[in-house]
Copies of this chain bind each other. A is one copy, B any other.
Amino acid sequence: MSFQNPVFIPGPTNIPECLRKACDMPTIDHRSPLFGQILHPAREGVRKVLKSTSAEVFIFPSSGTGGWETALSNTLSAGDTVLAARNGMFSHRWIDMCQRHGLDVQIVETPWGEGLPADRYEEILSADKGHKIKAVLATHNETATGVKSDIAAVRRALDAAGHPALLFVDGVSSIASMDFRMDEWGVDVAVTGSQKGFMLSAGLAIVGFSPKAMEATKTAQLPRTFFDVHDMAKGYANNAYPYTPAVGLMNGLNESCKMLLTEGLENVFARHHRIAEGVRAAVGAWGLELCAASPEVYSDTVSAIRTPEGFNATDIVTHAAEKYGVAFGVGLGEVAGKVFRIGHLGSLTDVMTLSGIATAEMCMVDLGLDIQLGSGVAAAQDYYRGNGASAQQDAA
């Protein structure tokens, strides 16, 4: 197996050297006080990354999908209604999970490439006089389409409608990379994982529960044990877990939070934005378009790039892997074959990104697209040169 080139999938990301070392830990007794010295700072670090002062943070040996299940099963009961928009593969899957857990999902179908329709949410919530809707689901960043949604607007919709529903946000591919404000936006459950902005391997579901969400757990009837937040909270109170924790990954998470907070969250976001802008400059130079419909929904963690009609975008991904040893993301669901994706989150520098852009160019030319070699690279170089790239950028 060769590990020379960076990966450009939208997570798991490249892992910083120091985080690999933090995770690669000999066994310690997870019931000893030592473990508390990892657990509590890690939870506190995550809370800061969520920009929350009041959230309870829970960390499960699981994945983002497990985080979704944690949100639902701890706060809702079978038959409850939830409101959700479907504008990409990941919002689709969360909706599917709701249905499989016996929830009644009011789905707002939304074109893939567009953000969440906060105005439609407001109409529906305003119409729900009986407050049948118990929770609103919002995917902050649709990893499948490279589309960022406006969570503050969703909060405003709830407030405008005077609706008490809980607000659940999937921040798997946004948190720790793009601005996320749990308290300010009134998010009740924030869901993420270890393998995106936190730059670790997959293996942790990370969730934040607001006090209101914690309150909702008292009446929620969906069955749960592994993902039960009360068991988890009881464990934490004793420096422990209700079962065996993934200690090394937790240690990595603790270090990751330190890295992010030392760099400064705003700097982290600005770095992601700068790197993304370079990629977008390249896309423009190639004469291609993003799946994301307009600049205000451009994601700073992943770009889904539309290829010309009649061309199978997935070929780029296969070819890049086979010929150049570079991993990009394929299109999923509705946009399968229509887009390929460049992940540009986590531990990445301008210089690494340029190698991804250069590879995409070679692949497109190899496969017969009318792209000029070096054109995207030049556009990105031009952007990076002028926008404060610095070696220090990469605290990672």
The residues of A with any CB-CB pair to B shorter than 8 Å are 1-5, 7, 9, 11-17, 20-21, 23-32, 34, 37, 60-66, 68-69, 73, 78, 96-97, 100-102, 193, 195, 201-203, 222-228, 242-249, 321-327, 329-330, 347-352, 354-355, 358-359, 361-362, 365-366, 372-375, 377-379, 381-382, 384-385, 389-396
Cα distance A366–B65 in the bound complex, in angstroms? 45
Q: Distance (Å) between the CB of A287 and the closest chain B CB?
A: 15
Nearest CB in chain B to that of A355: its residue: B355
Q: Is the CB of B352 within 8 A of A4?
A: yes
Nearest CB in chain B to that of A21: its residue: B21
Instruction: Find A226's partner among B62, B326, B358 (CB 8 Å cutoff).
Output: B62
Q: Is the CB of B349 within 8 A of A249?
A: no
Instruction: Find A355's partner among B26, B28, B354, B372 (CB 8 Å cutoff).
Output: B354
Q: Is the CB of A65 within 8 A of B242?
A: yes
Cα distance A21–B68 in the bound complex, in angstroms? 31
Q: What are the 6 A-B residue pairs with the smallest beta carbon separation, nearest first?
A: A374-B378, A325-B391, A374-B374, A29-B327, A355-B355, A202-B244
With A193-B244, A327-B32: A249-B69 Cβ-Cβ less than 8 Å: no
Number of copies: 4
Cα distance A391–B319 in the bound complex, in angstroms? 10
With A15-B27, A61-B61, A354-B354: A222-B223 Cβ-Cβ less than 8 Å: yes
Instruction: Find A2's partner among B68, B224, B389, B394 (CB 8 Å cutoff).
Output: B394
Q: Is the CB of A395 within 8 A of B2?
A: yes
Residues on B with beta carbons closer than 8 Å to the beta carbon of A23: 24
Q: Is the CB of B4 within 8 A of A30?
A: no
Q: Which of A2, A25, A73, A348 has the most CB of B within 10 A?
A: A2
Q: Is the CB of B358 within 8 A of A4?
A: no
Residues on B with beta carbons closer than 8 Å to the beta carbon of A96: 225
Nearest CB in chain B to that of A330: its residue: B31
Residues on B with beta carbons closer than 8 Å to the beta carbon of A361: 381
Q: Is the CB of A64 within 8 A of B243?
A: yes
Instruction: Find A225's partner among B69, B351, B366 (CB 8 Å cutoff).
Output: B69
Residues on B with beta carbons closer than 8 Å to the beta carbon of A349: 4-5, 324-325
Q: Distance (Å) between the CB of A301 and the closest chain B CB?
A: 15
Q: Distance (Å) between the CB of A44 and the closest chain B CB?
A: 18
Nearest CB in chain B to that of A388: its residue: B323
